[in-house]
Chain A
Amino acid sequence: MKRRTKFLPSLSIYAKFALTLLLSFSLIFLADLALFYSINQTLTAIDDVYDSNRRLNVMSDTLSNLEQNLTDYLNTNSQEAKDSYAANYNSFSDEIDALPSLFETTGADLKTKSLAADVTAMSRSYLGACDLTYAAKEERNIQLYRQYYDESETILSYLQSSLYALNNRQLQSNSSNYALFSTTFHSLEVTSFLILALVGAAVVSLLLFLTHSITEPLQELSEAADEVSRGSFNLDPIPIRSADEVGVVTNAFNEMVISIRGYIQKLRESMEHEQKMKEETLLMDTHLKEAQLKYLQAQINPHFLFNTLNAAVQLAMMEKAPRTYKYLQNVAQFFRTKTNRENQVTTLRDEIALVDTYLYIINVRYAGAFSYEKFLDEDLNSVEMPSMILQPIVENAINHGLRDMEGGSGKITLSTYETGKSITISVRDNGKGMTLEELEKVRQGKVSPHQKGDETNGVGLANVVERLKLFYHCDSSDDVFDITSAGPGKGTEVLLYIPADTEEEKGTVHVSDTDR
């Protein structure tokens, strides 16, 4: 499961750091730029405040110099004074021309403008008086230039007083403006400090946020790795918050955990399967050993009995008793077969041969009380099957179905045939039969002839069915066994089913090499 955030979703850690630093730098730079611009504007305004005073002072100085130059010239005829007079005259003229615009642009009040107009008019009057004086001086008319000079001095007095008044008024106005600018500038200091503090806080927050966004997934990854190292693989996938390097590592870690969990599950299933196989083999061995044990208990040393029987066979042959000889030979064959059946697997043919021998012995014992009929599919004789299967079934039929019948009327019918995917072995008797309840109890394994204390060799029907189930890996008894009866007095048929086609399974029909 991948869950990605929308904030810087696909940037590497380097790019995130670079972007954040760039953003921080830009923020600080813009704040500084704005503050610098504001300060610059303020300083420019403050610089301009006293500009009018400065220019009026310059004008006043020029006027003083002009008056001094004129006086010097009148006194001394000095060329230097004359030149200086001309220079200051021109400067003063320029300053007069610029005066109205100065107070228009600085936006003086009416009184200041009026004073400026006074100064302008007086200045021109003064320059006019100077011109007259200068011209009279050139003409060397001493009386006239003395008169003009006196007039110019009077005007100069008015002019200087007016200049003083104008400068003083402008100074008051400018001082007031300066105080306003100064107050505003102080407020800018406070504002600048607050903005810089806020910008600093924003940059720190941004960096903390970035660091947190990087370290938190790492911390989650570290905790998950620690849990895995302690053997716990049942973790929820770690959420992937970004596509950076941490996101890639987190994704790989999630997939690694899922893979390891899958391997562990497969290994566990494999071990459980192997354990089950071992348990099945062990159980089958247990049942076989149980059957063998019971036979051994019943045989009272079969080898000793077998040797004894062989001695009796030889004795019967020496005494020329052929029927005894044959009987003893069959008994000896029966026990020999029993004794040699140590292997679990045999063929259908051997099982049928054992049934033949058994029935001969029984008929000798009961004076030919049981007839025996076989309907065999010869092709099936080589089929492999567990040993000690058919003889106990036949023995059961005789003990429970036929023993109490009138002499010579009991009959055993053995049939083998192939039905679909299985081979069926039928053992039918015409004995006393069974009720439906009895049949059901036998099918469910609740009642068996063996539990009733029968006189067989001790291998019960339940043992036969269990071994068939284990051998052919069947879960239900119905797959390998069935018992039917038309009712009491109408005989009983036991059906055994052997799977015929699956080669891989252990229960597959095997054809013995020796039979081919």
Chain B
Amino acid sequence: MRLSKNRQKWIVLFFLAALAAASALTIFIYLRKLSVIESASSAQETYNRRYAFVGDLTKPELDPIYKAAYDYARQNGNYVERTGEGMNRTYTVSELLNMAACSGVDGIIVDANDSEQMRDAINDASDTGIPVVCIGTDSYGARRTSYVGISYYDLGQEYGRRIAELRTDTVQMVMILLSPNDRTNSQNMVYLGIIDYIRSAGLSGSFSFETYQPGDGSAFSSAEAVTDIISSYSLPPILVCLDETITTAVCQGLSDAGKTGTAVLGYSFNDTISQAIENGTVVETATLSAEQVGPSAVACLDDDIERGSAKSSVPVNLVVITRDNLKDYEGADDETQN
């Protein structure tokens, strides 16, 4: 089919016009895309106050607490940074606290301990006008603003109650695995809580207690020590683990060794522990309520800055997870990890 001359001309003109429009549109879309990339990378986020969350970066149980604190702070337009994260060397918690004070934050949340260095660092920060809130463990005698956490004695009482339930006709040995990184009195308070509960229950003759600190606190030493315990010892019928690392290592070691017959009372909650609760290795695990600790700590800082005063101590609930209520907490660990 032969097109008329006039139609040919219009086709050529239309082609040229379409080409120009397509080229212009393509370039426009490209530049727009470029602009979107640049603007996406420059999303303007701001904060009113900047708080520092100071704690041992190797303690995973602090992660959900930090996450909860972060979310709560953002709701009020504030920001919580994790001091020491992404750095090329490892600092102690006291050093991280000094670093946070040096970085001019508006407030500090610290997973404190009862050491002298911690006390000095808290006092230095407080002297520069930075409010400090301790979580988990209180630093006795330090000029901190508030303390948010459970009572370790109460935790010991909870463990004692559970141990009492596990009693048999024979005397059972209870091994308490202490955290080598905890230099505070907290573990003593837990131990005291257990003993007091058993004694008050009149079961002192049913149990014998032994404490053991796996590893020397250096990296990976706890896991190796736990493996040695599981493979070499005649395992006690009841194991009480006082930190997440040890609890997780015990759960994994028992599973790998295929050993049963030992009831484990753990601390903290993660997938491995959840699996161990599911198969009955772990009788129960106790943990802090991250949803309570993080926001409460931030709220204390807000109160101190905004009103000039905050509660000296804010108690939070102890969460006990067993096979009965496991379903309620499954998935919660994933969320906190995110």
- Which residues on A are within 8 Å of B, measured CB to CB? 5-7, 27, 30-31, 34-35, 37-38, 41-42, 45, 105-107, 109-111, 113-115, 117-122, 124-125, 154-155, 158, 161-162, 164-165, 168-169, 173, 177, 180-181, 184, 187-188, 191, 194-195, 198-199, 202, 205-206, 209, 213, 241
Asked whether any CB of chain A lies closer than 8 Å to the CB of B257, the reply is no
Are B87 and A125 neighbours in the complex by a CB distance under 8 Å? no
Residue of A nearest to B29 (CB): A191
A residues less than 8 Å from B103 (CB atoms): 117-119, 121-122, 158, 162
17 residue pairs from A and B, CB less than 8 Å apart: A34-B23, A45-B37, A107-B42, A114-B47, A114-B79, A117-B50, A118-B105, A121-B102, A122-B104, A124-B104, A161-B84, A165-B85, A165-B87, A181-B37, A184-B30, A202-B16, A202-B19
Stretch at the interface among B5-13, B131-139, B149-157, B306-314: B5-13
Residue of B nearest to A117 (CB): B50
- Which residues on B are within 8 Å of A, measured CB to CB? 5-6, 8-9, 12, 15-16, 19-20, 22-24, 26-27, 30-31, 33-34, 37-39, 41-47, 50, 79, 81, 84-89, 91, 95, 98-99, 102-105
A residues less than 8 Å from B34 (CB atoms): 38, 41-42, 45, 181, 184
CA distance A12 to B84 in the complex (A): 80
Given A45-B34, A106-B42, A107-B41, check contact A158 B102 (CB 8 Å): yes
Given A106-B41, A165-B85, A165-B87, check contact A205 B31 (CB 8 Å): no
Contact of A154 among B45, B88, B98 (CB under 8 A): B98
A189 to chain B, nearest CB (A): 11
CA distance A114 to B98 in the complex (A): 16
Are A38 and B89 neighbours in the complex by a CB distance under 8 Å? no
B244 to chain A, nearest CB (A): 25
A residues less than 8 Å from B91 (CB atoms): 161
A243 to chain B, nearest CB (A): 15
Given A45-B38, A107-B41, A177-B37, check contact A209 B8 (CB 8 Å): yes
Are B12 and A5 neighbours in the complex by a CB distance under 8 Å? no
9 tightest Cβ-Cβ pairs between the two chains A and B: A107-B42, A121-B104, A118-B103, A165-B86, A161-B87, A158-B99, A114-B81, A164-B88, A34-B27
A residues less than 8 Å from B84 (CB atoms): 161
CA distance A209 to B19 in the complex (A): 17
5 further interface pairs, Cβ-Cβ under 8 Å (given A109-B43, A154-B98):
A6-B6, A31-B23, A34-B23, A169-B86, A173-B41
B17 to chain A, nearest CB (A): 10
Are B27 and A198 neighbours in the complex by a CB distance under 8 Å? no
Residue of B nearest to A48 (CB): B38
Are B15 and A164 neighbours in the complex by a CB distance under 8 Å? no
A residues less than 8 Å from B44 (CB atoms): 107
Are A205 and B30 neighbours in the complex by a CB distance under 8 Å? no
Given A107-B42, A121-B103, check contact A164 B23 (CB 8 Å): no
A residues less than 8 Å from B15 (CB atoms): 202, 205
B residues less than 8 Å from A241 (CB atoms): 5
B residues less than 8 Å from A209 (CB atoms): 8-9, 12
Are A206 and B98 neighbours in the complex by a CB distance under 8 Å? no
Contact of A38 among B12, B31, B41, B50 (CB under 8 A): B31
Contact of B87 among A45, A105, A162 (CB under 8 A): A162
CA distance A180 to B34 in the complex (A): 9
CA distance A202 to B14 in the complex (A): 11
Given A5-B5, A7-B9, A206-B12, check contact A180 B23 (CB 8 Å): no
B residues less than 8 Å from A205 (CB atoms): 12, 15
A residues less than 8 Å from B16 (CB atoms): 27, 202, 206
Residue of A nearest to B81 (CB): A114
Are B24 and A34 neighbours in the complex by a CB distance under 8 Å? yes
Main secondary structure of the interface of A (DSSP, over half): helix
B residues less than 8 Å from A168 (CB atoms): 86
A residues less than 8 Å from B88 (CB atoms): 161, 164-165
A125 to chain B, nearest CB (A): 5
CA distance A168 to B24 in the complex (A): 39
B23 to chain A, nearest CB (A): 5
B81 to chain A, nearest CB (A): 4
B residues less than 8 Å from A42 (CB atoms): 34
B residues less than 8 Å from A198 (CB atoms): 19, 22-23
A32 to chain B, nearest CB (A): 11
Given A45-B38, A205-B12, check contact A38 B27 (CB 8 Å): yes
Are A199 and B19 neighbours in the complex by a CB distance under 8 Å? yes
Are B41 and A177 neighbours in the complex by a CB distance under 8 Å? yes
A286 to chain B, nearest CB (A): 63
A residues less than 8 Å from B19 (CB atoms): 27, 198-199, 202
B residues less than 8 Å from A30 (CB atoms): 20
A residues less than 8 Å from B23 (CB atoms): 31, 34, 195, 198-199
CA distance A209 to B16 in the complex (A): 12
CA distance A175 to B31 in the complex (A): 20
CA distance A162 to B16 in the complex (A): 58
Are A164 and B12 neighbours in the complex by a CB distance under 8 Å? no
CA distance A313 to B37 in the complex (A): 148
Are A180 and B37 neighbours in the complex by a CB distance under 8 Å? yes
A residues less than 8 Å from B37 (CB atoms): 45, 177, 180-181, 184
Which residue, B12, B23, B50, B95, has most C-beta atoms of chain A within 10 A? B23
Residue of B nearest to A168 (CB): B86
